[in-house]
Amino acid sequence: MEQRVIISRNLETELAIAISECEHDRLFVLTDEVTHEQCLPLVNNFFCLKGAKVITIGSTDVHKNLESLAHVWQGLDDGGADRHSCLINLGGGMVTDLGGFAASTFKRGIDFINIPTTLLSMVDASVGGKTGINFNGLKNEVGVFNDSKFVLLDTRFLRTLDDKNLRSGYAEMLKHGLISNEKTWADLLQFDLSNPDYDQLQALVAASVKVKEKVVSRDPNEKGLRKALNYGHTFGHAFESFSLKHHAEGEAPILHGYAVAYGLICELFLSVVKTGFPSEQMRQTVRFIRDNYGSFNISCDDYDELIALMRHDKKNMSGVINFTLLDAIGDVLINQTATDEEIREALDFFREG
Ligand SMILES: NC(=O)c1ccc[n+]([C@@H]2O[C@H](COP(=O)([O-])OP(=O)(O)OC[C@H]3O[C@@H](n4cnc5c(N)ncnc54)[C@H](O)[C@@H]3O)[C@@H](O)[C@H]2O)c1
Ligand SMILES: O=C(O)C(=O)C[C@@H](O)[C@H](O)[C@H](O)COP(=O)(O)O
Ligand SMILES: [Zn+2]
């Protein structure tokens, strides 16, 4: 893998080194409106960022769209970027996905560096080269695989992250636990999300990002094994797209990690029914998710729309919905299928438990 993931000890020094190893005739920093306020102050006076131009987009997934992408391209053009310029993405997964795509396409590609500021982007989104935007009501419908040159991971940014976004990122860590081994999974279920111990979390973050790096290094373009990282996402992305479309006025759509947590419930159910995953371990995981993530209000009248959304999953082939399932913790089965009836049963289980 071309990308270097660095668990930061001194962000200023590491960023200076990272920049020096990238093309960098002009420097740009991409933030969203929130990371501009909360995270930029932690790096703004770094000597290595002297003269860097800041581009800012709206925050959260409702802005992970063509309009924001065009705004970044425009900002790069207005700031005189050429193919030797460098973009530093300072934010959560929305910023690293969109900024990564903007950098990968601007003048056919400039170097970029990710500085993830949410738990989710630290353990998952900033690593592994999946970049893109939502389009046509579908998650990450347009994008490219392209690695940032560096990921600089500094958990000090988590100090300002709210409870819901902490839980959202933790769902991807739970996914990493389920696809890796029983010990990691069991440790994750012990963690108290209502009263997080940040030292313990830091150790869990380092272990979690290693799971992602290991899978990506063996299958960077998702030809096979990488589909393990999509566990929970066939249902999860359908829930997320559904919520982006139907969320009530004045109410935010569900966060990506919450959608993944709900997707894990459905895909654990399918794993028990179809591939013999132990039902007690499913029950323990489902209990943790229900206790920590609540639920998402859908009715059986929504099933057809959710299944229609699953028909757009990027793992699908020849119109057949593709699932990643488990027959045990750490034992991943890719390219699994389910009938519409089984999908409905999984949604019934999600609603009724
Ligand atoms: N590329 C991948 O492999 C990959 C993996 C997982 C998820 N994703 C994508 O990542 C996105 C979700 O990422 P996310 O959960 O980081 O959401 P996000 O980027 O929308 O950030 C969540 C919220 O937290 C704010 N924020 C960011 N850092 C903060 C900080 N340090 N303090 C206070 N507030 C802060 C943001 O402004 C935003 O309002 C989704 O679009 C998802 O599809 C991509
Ligand atoms: O890195 C991967 O591979 C993943 O699937 C990680 C997921 O957590 C992430 O949400 C990813 O963006 C989903 O990719 P997609 O190809 O299903 O859009
Ligand atoms: Zn995800």
Identify which of 146, 51, 50, 62 has the alpha carbon closest to the alpha carbon of residue 96: 146
Q: 0.80 exceeded by the pTM?
A: yes
124 Cβ inside 6 Å of ligand 2: yes
**Looking at ligand 1, which atom is closest to the CA of residue 255?**
15
Domain range list for the chain: 4-160, 165-352
Domain 4-160 has CATH 3.40.50.1970: yes
Instruction: Give, in order, the Cα–Cα distances in Å from 243 to each of 167, 177, 297.
Output: 18, 26, 10
Q: Can you tell me which residue has the tokens 């299958």? A: 219
Ligand 2, atom nearest to 172 Cα: 8
Residue with tokens 């389920």: 178
Distance of alpha carbon 337 from alpha carbon 330, whole angstroms:
19
165-352 matches 4-160 in CATH topology: no
Nearest residue (CA) to ligand 1, atom 38: 60
| Residues 6 or more apart in contact with residue 133 via CB below 8 angstroms | 64, 65, 66, 68, 69, 97, 98, 101, 140, 141, 142, 143
What does the chain come to in residues?
A: 353
Establish whether residue 139 lines the binding site of ligand 2, counting it when its CB lies within 6 angstroms of any ligand atom: yes
- The correct answer on CATH 1.10.1040.10 for the domain covering 165-352 is no
Q: Whose CA is nearest to atom 6 of ligand 1?
A: 125
Q: Which ligand is nearest to the CA of 255?
A: 1
pLDDT digit of tens for each residue in the chain (353 aa)? 489 999 999 999 999 999 999 999 999 999 999 999 999 999 999 999 999 999 999 999 999 999 999 999 999 999 999 999 999 999 999 999 999 999 999 999 999 999 999 999 999 999 999 999 999 999 999 999 999 999 999 999 999 999 999 999 999 999 999 999 999 999 999 999 999 999 999 999 999 999 999 999 999 999 999 999 999 999 999 999 999 999 999 999 999 999 999 999 999 999 999 999 999 999 999 999 999 999 999 999 999 999 999 999 999 999 999 999 999 999 999 999 999 999 999 999 999 97
Contacts with 191 (C-beta within 8 Å, 6 or more apart), sequence order: 170, 197, 200, 201, 204
Ligand 1 centre distance from Cα of residue 96 (Å): 8
Pocket flag, ligand 2, residue 315 (CB < 6 Å): no
